[in-house]
Amino acid sequence: MSIAELLGGVPPIVGASTSATAFIDVFGDGPVGVATRVTSTDEFLRAFGPLDPAIPGGYAVTQFFANGGETAWVVRVTAGGHPAPAAAALAGGLDALRDLDSGSVNLLCVPAAATLDAPSPDLRTPNHAAFAAAAARFCADARCFLLLDPPPFLEVADVAGWLAANDLRHRDSAIHVPRLRIADPDAPGATLDVGPSGAVAGVISTIDRRSGVWRAPAGTTAALRGVVDLASRPLTDTEMSAHNALGVNVIRNLPGIGPVIWGARTLAGDDAQGGEWRYLPVRRTALFIEQSLADGLRRVVFEPNGEPLWSQVREAVSTFLDELFRSGALQGARPREGYFVKCGTETTTRADIDSGVVNLVVGFAPVRPAEFVTMTIRLRTAEPE
């Protein structure tokens, strides 16, 4: 009997998930302080109880599934028995998400954060800003993206002043305005004012599956289902342009279509500031690539740190990026115009080798803007004996 030797090396890299969405709120039932996976509205209601107007997270979950979302991670936090949580309680829900495997959560929605503050003449919402900062730190560590909701009292004309008064400009965050009106399932003919994050996450999930994470979740293909109307007056064309330039994504009503997402910017910076992370699909594509490479290259921890390994890493990463290029995710007429991969003596020093570290440098040119975005990923390998 002969035995075939199985060669080691770097296995093919598989694309990570992009739109599994986490929701944090007090909820009425369900386990406390743990992330529970649900895949439908019925499953959510069975596990976490009926919808309650005092718990905005419930409507966000149902809007997520109504707009095509498939996987939700729901975290119930406590708030001393009162339905209105504190910023610290919501931030504590992030700990439950940290217990999940890396890459399990890609989008984060916490509509209750928008209700933490009362109206203020100076437009400051300190509790909302404090939670957003905590969530941004989590997203940076978890390669996740936060969808913020505007406070229910915020007028569309005050959005620019509100952003200036609160520290919310994080590269892994986006906001959509205005809020939405949906039918009240418990009161026929009545409507409820809800934040748009759950519905937006559902649309993002749908577009990710249909076209890829690199496609902008905006335009006529980004219609919001289950929405009766906008919760405030529609913005004029001039106002929409101004909001877009500020990094604020507008939801507008189109005749014959209804409410649609009409912008795909992050809160990393406005037109005046620029920056490589202005566009939501660019940032989310980078997170997708980082997570895919981190997952696919885990086995290098067992390999000696040298040219044979570096060559295998270059080949595996190039093959993965070539597939993205051929799917239309990257710019250029030829692969070398769409991406580059560096892993060798130019990226990894003798000190890195002695410490069991290999540095991988990847650049990719998103379709818009067609400029290279560069990332450095540090991988652990077998240390020299």
CATH of the domain at 332: 3.30.360.90
Residues 198 and 305 in one domain: no
Are 349 and 255 contained in the same domain? no
210 contacts 225 by C-beta, under 8 angstroms:
no
pLDDT at position 110 is 98
Domain count, the chain: 2
Residue 108 covered by a domain? yes
Q: Which residue has the tokens 């040219």?
A: 307
Residue 259 CA, distance from chain mean position? 21
CA atoms within 13 A on the CB side of 143: 23
Pairing mode of beta strands 107-109, 145-148: parallel
**339 beta partners:** 364
The owner of tokens 């035995």 is 3
Rounded-to-integer distance, Cα 58 and Cα 41, Å: 9
Is 250:240 a contact under the CB 8 Å cutoff?
A: yes
Q: 129 and 254 in one domain?
A: yes
- CB within 8 Å of 30: residues ≥ 6 apart: 36, 47, 48, 49, 74, 76
pLDDT for position 385: 57
Name residues whose C-beta falls within 8 Å of residue 139's C-beta, 6 or more positions apart in sequence: 108, 145, 146, 170, 172, 173
Quick one: pLDDT at residue 24?
98
261 in the same domain as 219: yes
Residues 91 and 152 in one domain: yes
Query: Which of 74, 82, 20 has the alpha carbon at shortest distance from 47?
Result: 74
Is residue 194, in this structure, part of any structural domain at all? yes
Instruction: Tell me, yes or no, whether 217 and 110 share the same domain.
Output: yes
Residue type, 26: V
Q: Please report the pLDDT score of residue 370 as a whole number.
A: 56
DSSP secondary structure, 154-205, as one string: --GGGHHHHHHHS----TTEEEEES-EEEE-TTSTT-EEEE-SHHHHHHHHH
Query: Do 218 and 321 fall within a single domain?
Result: no
pLDDT on residue 166: 94
Q: Which amino acid is at 23?
A: F
| Residue 322 sits in the same domain as residue 350 | yes
d(CA 91, CA 88): 5
Please tell me whether residues 26 and 62 are part of one structural domain: yes
Question: Contacts for 37-40 with beta carbons within 8 Å, 24 or more apart?
Answer: 37/71, 37/72, 37/73, 37/74, 38/72, 38/73, 38/74, 39/70, 39/71, 39/72, 40/65
> What is residue 304's DSSP assignment?
B
For the record, the structure tokens of 178 come out as 């205005």
Q: Which residues of the chain have pLDDT under 50?
A: 1-7
pLDDT in tens, 134-187: 999 999 999 999 999 999 999 988 998 999 999 899 999 999 999 999 999 888
| Separation of alpha carbons 351 and 143, rounded Å | 28
Q: Is residue 200 part of a domain?
A: yes
In this prediction, residue 192 carries a pLDDT of: 96
List the structure tokens of 81.
């028995």
Which pLDDT score, from 0 to 100, does residue 3 have? 32
Q: Under a CB-based contact definition with an 8 Å cutoff, are residues 118 and 32 in contact?
A: no
Task: State which residues form the domain around 146.
Answer: 21-282
Q: Give the integer Cα–Cα distance in Å for 314 and 321.
A: 10
